[in-house]
Amino acid sequence: MYSFSVTDFENWRTIARTLLQANVDPSNVSWQPPEQQGLFSPSALEAIIDPAKSVRSSGTHKIPRQFLQRAKQAACFSDMKDPARKWSILYSLLWRIVHYGNGTLLLTSDPEVRCLDSMCKAVSRDKHKMKAFVRFQQVANHNVAVTGQECPEDGAEYYVAWFEPSHAIVESVAPFFVKRFTGMHWSILTPGGCAHWDMEQLTVTEGVPKPDIDTDSFDIFWKAYYCNIFNPARLKEQAMRSEMPKKYWKYLPEAACIHDLTRGATAVTEQMIDAPTTNSDRAREKSRIVAQFQNTLRLKNRIDPDTDNFSDTPP
Amino acid sequence: MDVLQKLEILADAAKYDASCASSGTESRNSLKTKSIGSTSPGMGICHSYTPDGRCISLLKILLTNFCLYECAYCVNRTSSNVPRARFSIDEVVNLTMEFYKRNYIEGLFLSSGIIKSADYTMEQVVAVARKLRLEHRFGGYIHLKTIPEASPELLAEAGLYADRLSINVELPSETSLKRLAPEKNAQSIVRSMANLSSGIEEYKESRKLARKKANKKLIAPKFSPSGQSTQMIVGADTSNDAIILRKASQLYKSFKMKRVYYSAFSPIPDASSELPLKSPPLVREHRLYQADWLLRFYGYGIDELTDVTNDSPSPGMLSLDVDPKLAWAIRHRDAFPVDLNRADFETILRVPGIGVINARRLVAQRKVAALRYQDLSKLRLPVEKLKYFVTTIDHRPKPAQLDAANFSSLFVAQKSQQMNLFE
């Protein structure tokens, strides 16, 4: 029995490659989370290779790129109960691909394939939600205590966001933010790692606890927009909650408005329906300019009754 | 009036436009321009959701809600007593930039009431986009509402900056448009859609040619890379669903619309005496979206989906109780059950509860092993609905069930569930 503690995808890949070359069956490997000391350190890997046992003399296997991409995605998955389970599933699938062919991944009802699928889906959803729900605040002074970053020159704008992704995705999502906010100096802080962009260089640092960031007064504009773009006559609270689960609300300044908007919606709608209507000629009667303008347009739009039909096809 | 008050008025004025899409444009980022903004050809990002279940992807506002037109359904019509405001060009540009920098939005959707003249108004709208693109090198998404009567030069410039241009067809028939929106002109709307369509096509073709000849110089000036869309109001006039869907099909076919949006006529503050208010027909709107999908991707005909039987209580309408695909199946029970192990792909696609992806999966899987009833639940298909319509090697619905007079009532339980979901 071999035991390995794995830190990240590249680390797993190195170990897995060696194990495959040595033809080690997945049932003979125990995978451990990084904090536990493995029986074999990666440096001892070379020792387990027995050239005589090697499946192929070249020692390399053709692994479908699609599997490697999905494995890399799944490697971001954090499983609170069993943090190293992903590594053992990945190795087992890798082993099966090498021994039974690429078709292994097509077995959609196979438990390991299903597990890989659901890990990838969870990570991909988490990434998508992070891109959507990270909210930057402009901080007045470059707060070294908050981000551990160096000060830019005085007066430069600096944006900071706090977010808690469910999976270890900061490193893989950071390039998205770089491409989008290239001309901004920013930091995204999370408990599992932080990403910093100084308009030249992306730096990834250790995670931090939730910092105190002063609220950016600009969120009053955003809240005003949020409240006024909402149509109370179409209240569908459940549809909102399924797309924007409550666990994200703490990052969203606009979430503070949800309760009042929802509670007042029915009354506002009834009020609109019951209110007296306005005569459509009101403005025409009051303003000569409006009446003139509209008369000209209406004259221009008058259509010969013979051609007035439903044929709105292009001329 | 300060910017905050203007924002309140001009966001409120823009909420009746259903579109907030930021998907399917070209791939852009800010690495070279050292500015801000990126877009992708794939899925758009919804940065928030309002309690009406709608996504907020774009800052959707009007430049002004002053308007000379008197469209009976519109909150901004000239006779309405709602408060009025007008943004300056810089105010819109700043709001867009500041919202974007905080990752609130994917970009801007700008529309406007008609002031002075079509060209004057369009010029103001274009000026906002021009400033964002040229001065701020803004790389995010821009959707501009286009005024049909504006000059071709302005449309060309709008196409240069915008990811998407759109003109609202508003109502499904010319007669309704004349009655409810007397200043609008159906022919001029159609003409402008045709102009946009040819501009979009020309740009696309030039890109194809440039790729083929490996010569970037052949690419024409950019023109609305994410195509055009339009919106139809549902429930403001008496047009039935068949008329609405026929109009939509025509628009998809003639102008290669990316989307036709259906917007349930919704209560507005200070309604016109011409058009009394009711609760918005949200279920009907939802059924139209479903039917729209079936027409475009499932090969259904309009007459197949709407109830064309003469003795029907609502001829030309989609059923509100069940979705249009299930309604079709209930009306065509003679075509069922479908043998999932033998039927061709198109026939399987017509089974209620089986979508394109699962139809493909079933056809692929049955080549490996004959399909069994439990395979359906493994694919997480809605077996409770499916079981009446399909046969597998170990399952066959009782013929009496399918023929029973009260067959459609079997789905009533599902109906009330759906009503909850979509109401």
- The DSSP result for A7-63, as a single string, is -SHHHHHHHHHHHHHTT--GGGEEEE-TTSPPSS-GGGGGGG--GGG-SSSS-----
Helix (H) or strand (E) holding A282: helix A282-286
φ, ψ dihedrals at B31, nearest 5°: -55, -40
Q: Which of A107, A128, A184, A228 to mutate to test the interface with B (most CBs of B within 10 A)?
A: A228
- The DSSP result for A111-175, as a single string, is HHHHHHHHHHHHHHHHHHHHHHH---EEESS--HHHH-PPP-STT--EEEEE---SSS-HHHHHH
Report the distance separating Cα B190 and Cα B255, nearest Å: 9
Expressed in angstroms, the distance from the first to the final Cα of chain B is: 37
Interface residue A136 vs chain B (CB under 8 A): yes
Chain A residue closest in CA terms to B263: A234
CB contact set of B142 (below 8 Å; sequence gap of 6+): B107, B108, B109, B110, B129, B132, B133, B161, B162, B163, B164
Interface residue A128 vs chain B (CB under 8 A): yes
pLDDT at B411: 80
φ, ψ dihedrals at A123, nearest 5°: -65, -40
Query: Which among A161, A219, A265 has CB closest to B51?
Result: A265
pLDDT at A159: 93
Token representation of residue B40: 């992708």
> What is the distance of C-alpha A300 from the center of its chain?
52
Reading chain A (315 residues) residue by residue, the pLDDT tens digits are 788 888 889 999 999 998 988 888 999 899 988 765 545 555 466 566 555 554 444 456 788 899 999 999 999 999 888 888 999 999 999 999 999 888 888 777 788 988 999 999 999 999 999 999 999 999 876 555 556 666 556 667 899 999 999 999 999 999 999 999 999 999 999 999 999 999 999 999 999 999 888 777 899 999 999 999 999 999 999 999 999 999 999 999 999 999 999 999 999 999 999 999 998 888 888 888 888 888 888 888 775 544 444 444 443
Token representation of residue A277: 């209507």
> B3-280, which class in CATH?
alpha beta
CB contact set of A195 (below 8 Å; sequence gap of 6+): A170, A171, A173, A174, A177, A187, A188, A202, A203, A204
Report the distance separating Cα B247 and Cα B234, nearest Å: 12
pLDDT at A287: 87
Structure confidence by residue, pLDDT tens digits, B212-266: 999 988 999 999 999 999 999 999 999 999 999 999 999 999 999 999 999 999 9
Written in H, E and C, the secondary structure of chain B is: CCHHHHHHHHHHCCCCCCCCCCCCCCCECCCCCCCCCCECCCCCCCCEECCCCCEECEEEEECECCCCCCCCCCCCCCCCCCCCCECCHHHHHHHHHHHHHCCCCCEEEEECCCCCCHHHHHHHHHHHHHHHHHHCCCCCEEEEECCCCCCHHHHHHHHHHCCEEECCCECCCHHHHHHHCCCCCHHHHHHHHHHHHHHHHHHHHHHHHHHHCCCHHHCCCCCCCCCEEEEEEECCCCCCHHHHHHHHHHHHHHHCCCEEEEEECCCCCCCECCCCCCCCCHHHHHHHHHHHHHHHHCCCCHHHHCCCCCCCCCCCCCCCCCCHHHHHHHHCHHHCCEECCCCCHHHHHCCCCCCHHHHHHHHHHHHHCCCCHHHHHHCCCCHHHHCCCEEECCECCCHHHHHCCCHHHHHHHHHHHHHHHHC
Size of interface A-B (CB pairs under 8 A): 247
Report the distance separating Cα B317 and Cα B154, nearest Å: 40
Structure confidence by residue, pLDDT tens digits, A96-150: 999 988 888 877 778 898 899 999 999 999 999 999 999 999 987 655 555 666 6
Contact A238 B421 (CB under 8 A): yes
Chain B residues with CB under 8 Å of A278 CB are: 79-81, 270-273
Contact A230 B51 (CB under 8 A): yes
* Residue B62 burial (CB count, 10 A): 27
pLDDT at A141: 61
Report the distance separating Cα A223 and Cα B48, nearest Å: 11
Chain A residues 26-65 within an 8 A CB cutoff of chain B: none
Percent of chain B with pLDDT over 70: 96
Token representation of residue A183: 């001309």
Own/partner long-range contacts of A210-216 (Cβ < 8 Å, ≥24 apart): A210/A162, A211/A146, A211/A147, A211/A160, A211/A162, A212/A146, A213/A137, A213/A139, A213/A143, A213/A146, A213/A160, A213/A162, A214/A137, A214/A139, A214/A140, A215/A137, A215/A253, A216/A136, A216/A137, A216/A138, A216/A139, A216/B102
pLDDT at A305: 46
Structure confidence by residue, pLDDT tens digits, B141-174: 999 999 999 999 999 999 999 999 999 999 999 9
pLDDT at B92: 98
pLDDT at B241: 94
Report the distance separating Cα B76 and Cα B115, nearest Å: 12
Report the distance separating Cα A88 and Cα A95, nearest Å: 10
Chain A residues with CB under 8 Å of B257 CB are: none
The three-state secondary structure class of A196 is: strand
pLDDT at B415: 47
- Strands A202-205 and A194-197, bridge-based pairing: antiparallel
Q: Which of A280, A282, A300 to mutate to test the interface with B (most CBs of B within 10 A)?
A: A280
| B86: β partners | B64
The three-state secondary structure class of A197 is: strand
Interface residue A256 vs chain B (CB under 8 A): no
Calculated CA dihedral for residues B23, B24, B25, B26, nearest 10 degrees: 130
Report the distance separating Cα B45 and Cα B247, nearest Å: 30
pLDDT at A5: 87
Contact B50 A134 (CB under 8 A): no
Token representation of residue B362: 């079933």
Q: Which of A231, A293, A304 to mutate to test the interface with B (most CBs of B within 10 A)?
A: A231
Interface residue A267 vs chain B (CB under 8 A): no
pLDDT at B70: 93
* Residue A57 burial (CB count, 10 A): 7
Checking if the pLDDT of B80 tops 80, the result is yes
Contact A314 B194 (CB under 8 A): yes
pLDDT at A188: 96
pLDDT at A3: 87
Chain B residue closest in CA terms to A286: B79
Q: Is B296 buried (19+), middle (13-18) or exposed (0-12) by CB count in 10 A?
A: middle
Q: Where are the domains of chain B?
A: 3-280, 303-422
Chain A residues 212-241 within an 8 A CB cutoff of chain B: 216, 218-222, 224-240
| A189: β partners | A162
Report the distance separating Cα A5 and Cα A193, nearest Å: 20
Contact B68 A294 (CB under 8 A): yes
Mean per-residue pLDDT, B77-84: 94
Checking if the pLDDT of B195 tops 60, the result is yes
φ, ψ dihedrals at A48, nearest 5°: -90, -5
Q: How far is B178 from chain A (nearest CA, A)?
A: 8
Of A33-42, B115-124, B313-322, B335-344, the one with minimum mean pLDDT is A33-42
Contact A236 B266 (CB under 8 A): no
Report the distance separating Cα B95 and Cα A218, nearest Å: 10
Query: Which among B15, B69, B193 has CB closest to A229?
Result: B15
* Residue B175 burial (CB count, 10 A): 17
CB contact set of A176 (below 8 Å; sequence gap of 6+): A131, B38
Chain A residues with CB under 8 Å of B79 CB are: 278-284
* Residue B322 burial (CB count, 10 A): 21
Q: Which of B5, B33, B48 to mutate to test the interface with A (most CBs of A within 10 A)?
A: B48
Chain A residues with CB under 8 Å of B33 CB are: 182-183
